[in-house]
Each structure stands twice: as C-alpha cells, then as structure tokens.
Amino acid sequence: MTRTPAAEPASAGALRGPGKRAGLTLEQILAAARTIDPRSLTMQAVADTLGVDRKAVHHYVRDRETLLDLVAREAFAEHFAAAHLAESESWQQACRAYATAFTESLIAIGSLGDYFRPGSPLLVGIIAPTEVLLSALLDAGFDDETAAQCLMLLTFICTGFARTATLTSEAGEHLGLAQLRLALEDSAGASFPHVTHMGDPSVDTSGAGQFRTSIDVFISGCEDLLKAQKSVGEP
C-alpha cells in the first residue's frame, strides 16, 4: 500500500482550526500512527505528528482503540499478503499454509498483535489467501457454515499461539509455565508428577512442536466433521 509521508510535527500556532480535515486521508493517518510506539499512540499524538487539530483525525477514526486496531490490521496485512496458497493444494495443506502465514504475520508485528482483533473487517491483503482456503474447504465437501466455523477456529488457534510466542520471547520464558512452577512450589509437598513434568522447560508448549500439534488436532477434527457430513448425505 502506497503511503503519503507524514508531515513534520507543527507548532501549536501552525495547527489548523478545530474540525478542519486539512486534506487528510486515512492512509496518511495510519502512516503517521505507525511511526509512534503503540503504547504511546493517541489521537492527539497522531494529530501532533501531522500538524493538524485532533478533531481532524477524529473525522476519520472514532477513538484510540479503533486506531490501534486499524494500525495492527494494516501491519498484519502487509506480512500476510505475501502468503501464497496454491489453489491445487489439498484442503489440509491449505490449512497448514494459511495457519503458518497467519501466525508468522502476527508474531512479526510484535506488540501490535495485542490490538489485533480477528473479528475485524478483512483488509484486501488478507482476502486473497482466505478465499483460497475457503475454496479448498468447500471443494472438499464442507458446507458453507462449517467452512466458516473451521476458518474462525483456525484463526483463534493461530492468534492464541502467536500471543503466547510473543510473550514468551519478551519474557525469556513461558509465563504460564513459570506461574505453574511457582504454584507447585507452594503446593505444601503434595506430589503432582505429571503436572510437574509439563512445567519442565524441555517440554515444548510454545514452540514449533506445539504449533504442529495444534494444527494436527485441528485438521483431525475437521476430517471427522467432513466424514460426518458426507455420511449424512449417503443413502
């Protein structure tokens, strides 16, 4: 997506009056917003960067939460648009390719992933791979509703995994497992060997092995759904 470079911050006296849109576009607003750390991103910060009144930004974006969602989706779409799902792939291969691209794209945008909402309207960069995956599911025999539900579940799996991977990378360890180990230390000498083993750092619960297992389970479940659907239609 081509962007118009953001203007240099202007002095307070150079700002346009309230409500004037200053020839702004949403593209300019998002370009300016992406130069600001998400934790410091506000409507006023964007207005200051562009040298316009805050109300001019509000004309295009309702509030900070919406702005963060837009910035996150645009950053995600830039990465995800590079995914190429071959239309000749089986639906299982298409699911794996889609899940890999989706997850890697979320991890690539880092802290912006905190503001990404899978239910948000799709951007153009996300539509093409999604169309290929849905086509593969429908061609395999899934009905429209089940295909949509499988897609939604897959995005939930990817979003959860990417979130955990990002937090683990930032903290240097899996926070959930760290808390589990602390809980075990406070368990007053009770023995929980299986839970204790799960908390061992050598057990992969946030890396490539966990991701493969998650997608394997997803595909196995979808295969069972498809078999059930086809059996209903058999004489």
Residue 74, token pair as written in the block: 């645009």
Q: What is the mean pLDDT of residues 93-98?
A: 94
- Which residue type, as a one-letter code, is found at position 227? K
Structure tokens at 96: 């794996």
Which of 2-6, 8-12, 145-149 is least confident? 8-12
pLDDT band at 11 (very low <50, low <70, confident <90, very high): very low
- pTM (two decimals): 0.76
Please tell me which residue, 43 or 74, carries the higher pLDDT value. Answer: 43
Output the pLDDT for position 54.
94
194-221 average pLDDT score: 88
Residue 159 near residue 151 (C-beta atoms within 8 A): no
The fraction of the chain above a pLDDT of 70, given in percent, is: 85
pLDDT given for residue 114 in this prediction: 81
Query: Which DSSP state fits 118?
Result: T
* Residue 137: exposure state from Cβ atoms within 10 A (0-12, 13-18, ≥19): buried
Q: How far is Cα 49 from Cα 35, in angstroms, rounded to an integer? A: 9
Average pLDDT over residues 167-186: 78
Rounded to 5°, the CA angle 201-96-149 comes to 105
More confident of the two residues 111 and 66: 66
Q: Assign 64 a pLDDT band (cuts: 50, 70, 90).
A: very high
Residue 23 pLDDT > 50, yes or no?
yes
- Domains of the chain plus CATH, in order, are 85-233 (1.10.357.10)
State the pLDDT at residue 167. Answer: 83
Mean pLDDT of 144-165: 94
Nearest by Cα to 131 from 163, 177, 94: 94
| 126 confidence band (pLDDT: 50, 70, 90) | confident
